[in-house]
């Protein structure tokens, strides 16, 4: 085989895999532990549903990069490149435990809440499509969304493999409903997503009086509220003071980094 033939075969292989390639998909799950931990267990893309915990808004790690699902509002817009994925992943589990169907109007995003409804517009031709987020990816820096095969066809980007797009947040859908609602129905849905399960433990006391004093002192600090958690431990009854109201773990981590509370750490309610 001459050099030209080898080059042609190589080029064809790249083109055949490039448009739908998403790389290795290993998901990390923090589980339901109350204490924030950096320890993570990797999972492959083929997961036993009976053992699967839906990581809708849990942080995860891919190839050493940590991703923190974030909070967005209706009307928010983002720009970047879109890609698509199809036959190679058809029938496999998505990140939220659904079975991927390349004919459904769905998409993958690194950090948007699951079941977020977004409008994707191809900047090259002005064509738009509406999809529901039910997967994580694409894990390539230059791409912001991975469309299903059918969704990609609606904005005429299958042949090119990628396209510059704008992604607009239209609303948030119930996890029990898989069909995309019409836009007028989305107006009655929540206008943002608030995750109230992350908190900062700022103090711990064996006596309630100490916890109560701290709770009152720091309540409404920077707009966050304080609560007292009555917890039985191996060392007896403890009263822990938590600062709550963070809209995501990323927000809690950013606040922790300010160093306003010495020896504080992130906790998560079940």
d(CA 21, CA 33): 33
d(CA 100, CA 86): 9
* Ranges in the chain, pLDDT < 70: 1-59, 174-196, 269-270
Q: What is the pLDDT of residue 53?
A: 29
Domains by residue range for the chain, with CATH: 19-186 (2.40.40.10), 198-268 (3.30.70.1070)
Q: What is the pLDDT of residue 74?
A: 85
Report the predicted TM-score, pTM, of the whole model to 2 decimal places: 0.55
> Residue 65: which of 17, 108, 21, 26 has the closest Cα?
26
Instruction: Give the burial class of 115: count Cβ atoms within 10 A of its Cβ; 0-12 exposed, 13-18 middle, 19 or more buried.
Output: buried
- Please give the span between the terminal C-alpha atoms of the chain, in angstroms, as a whole number: 62
């Amino acid at each position: 085989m001459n050099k030209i033939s080898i080059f042609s075969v190589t080029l064809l292989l790249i083109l055949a895999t490039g448009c739908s390639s998403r790389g290795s998909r290993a998901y990390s799950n923090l589980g339901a532990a109350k204490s924030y931990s950096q320890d993570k267990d990797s999972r492959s893309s083929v997961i036993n549903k009976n053992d699967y915990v839906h990581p809708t808004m849990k942080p995860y790690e891919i190839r050493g990069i940590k991703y923190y699902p974030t909070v967005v509002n209706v009307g928010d817009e983002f720009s970047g490149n879109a890609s698509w994925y199809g036959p190679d992943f058809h029938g496999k589990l998505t990140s939220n435990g659904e079975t991927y169907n390349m004919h459904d109007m769905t998409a993958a995003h690194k950090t948007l809440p699951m079941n977020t409804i977004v409008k994707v517009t191809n900047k090259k031709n002005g064509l738009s499509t509406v999809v529901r987020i039910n997967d994580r990816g694409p894990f390539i820096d230059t791409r912001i969304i991975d469309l299903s095969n059918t969704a990609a066809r609606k904005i005429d980007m299958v042949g090119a493999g990628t396209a510059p797009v704008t992604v607009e947040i239209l609303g948030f859908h119930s996890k029990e409903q898989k069909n995309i609602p019409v836009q007028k129905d989305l107006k009655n849905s929540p206008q943002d997503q608030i995750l109230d399960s992350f908190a900062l433990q700022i103090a711990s006391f064996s006596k309630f009086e100490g916890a109560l004093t701290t709770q009152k002192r720091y309540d409404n600090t920077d707009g966050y509220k304080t609560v007292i958690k009555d917890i039985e431990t191996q060392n007896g009854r403890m009263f822990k003071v938590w600062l709550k109201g963070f809209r995501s773990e990323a927000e809690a981590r950013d606040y922790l980094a300010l160093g306003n509370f010495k020896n504080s750490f992130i906790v998560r309610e079940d």
